[in-house]
Structure 1
Amino acid sequence: MNSLSLAVRDSSTMLRRNLLRVRRYPSMTLNLLLTPVMMLLLFVFVFGEAMSAGIGGGADRSDYLAYLLPGLLLMTIGSTTIGTAVSVSMDMTEGIIARFRTMAIHRGSILIGHVIGSVLQTIISVAFVGAVGVAIGFRSTDATLVEWVAAFGLLTLFALALTWIAVGMGMVSPNAEAASNNAMPLIFLPLISSAFVPVDAMPGAFQPIAEYQPFTPAIETLRGLLLGTEIGHNGWLALGWCVGLALLGYFWSKSVFERDPK
């Protein structure tokens, strides 16, 4: 069996292992998924009229729902990948990685299984939150098929990038609790972005944070694709952030995995 066939076979095995873990322990996924769903319902039905008036949409919840949902989809990616950091940390600290190192398997398949499994789980979570948004009134009547495909591609690429970052966080964490804490910025950053209010409506001290971070250009690009708003340079910025974070997470994880015997 050649190296490529071995890598594909072992990566498939590791993917199946991680999907079985998700099925056996659904509480973590459910807890992480409930955060964006509850925020969606809270901001639409409790604050929706006031927030809509604040962004110039009139006192109409549906206007704010259209503004909010793209940001919540990106926030869902950030919250779901926390589970990846915890899962990787558990493997690193409970000895299973050490056991895998002694077996005749493709070394890269261990990380690839985590990454592919996490991306699949994240896309399913995003689809669920999107379905909740549609159920409470979100509509994207102006988006073409190409724009829908581009939006799905952006969400997938963003999920891949944050997953690699989460893998790195999990590998350097001493335990699962620390991994969960280290990955919390993946939830907090969307709160200081254009997900809930426009950047220029924020206090001055927060505007640079909101503007120069990965979530804001991705959110604005997703809004442009689904709602027909102006994308401008945000598309290229979002793509650049995705590629940069994915490469950073990949080389970080690979470096730690190759040198850490624990």
Structure 2
Amino acid sequence: MSEATSNPPLPRTLEGRHVIVTGGGVGIGLGIVRRFAAAGARVALTTHSRSADDVVAQLADEGLDVLGLRFDATDSEQVTAAVDLLADRLGGLDVVVNNSGGLLARHTIAETSDVHWDAVWRVNVSSTFYVSRAALRHLGEGGRIINISSLAGSNGGGNGSAPYATAKAAVDGFTRALAKEIAPHGITVNAIAPGLILDTPFHETFTPPADQEKTIASIPVGRAGFPDDVAAAAEYFARDDSAFVTGTVLDLNGGVHFS
């Protein structure tokens, strides 16, 4: 059992909050959906790799009532229509979590094609921009935008991840720029930069077990992270009492790296 499903009941710190989580069908995104719904939020998840109906049914079996929609976060028109639709179905919009993203494949810079470079940029950076822009039509005072970045954005990532590391560094920059722009409207923008987070397709696909063990041995707190570690940080950023925190990129890596 993952740590995301073994925690005691949460206080309902997000009661009355209306939330969209992109990439909410697996891994970190699914952990955030679980935690937010358990904390009282009305949550809509989006997914591209899985059937949204399947994810919603899975969560219903866990006692969590969420909405779901499958769409392509790299398509500007789809994003705008989806955010409008979900905000209407939720009855408003208070929090957006931009979790869509991925490494896609490992290539050296010399081997990286234009197609791969563009695809990594679009799934990590363009998706964050498109969703945030669409959300601003609905967010008001007390609104929250939370971007999921990566340790790779500040340390350059592992071998073969230059496009991904570059894209996540751009997400960090976008977070700070948007935070400055919309702070006068009472909306905060923050990012979380996770390190090694297990129970995720990302590391199951791209980080062999031997590399995982090597990384864990280097983590000062003595363990890898799990989706609920990220979700706990996201929950704080989503709450009313985080209103004085904006433009922050939170390192969440067990002490491996400080940016």
**TM norm structure 1:** 0.30
Q: Which has the higher strand share?
A: 2
Larger Rg: 1
**TM norm structure 2:** 0.31
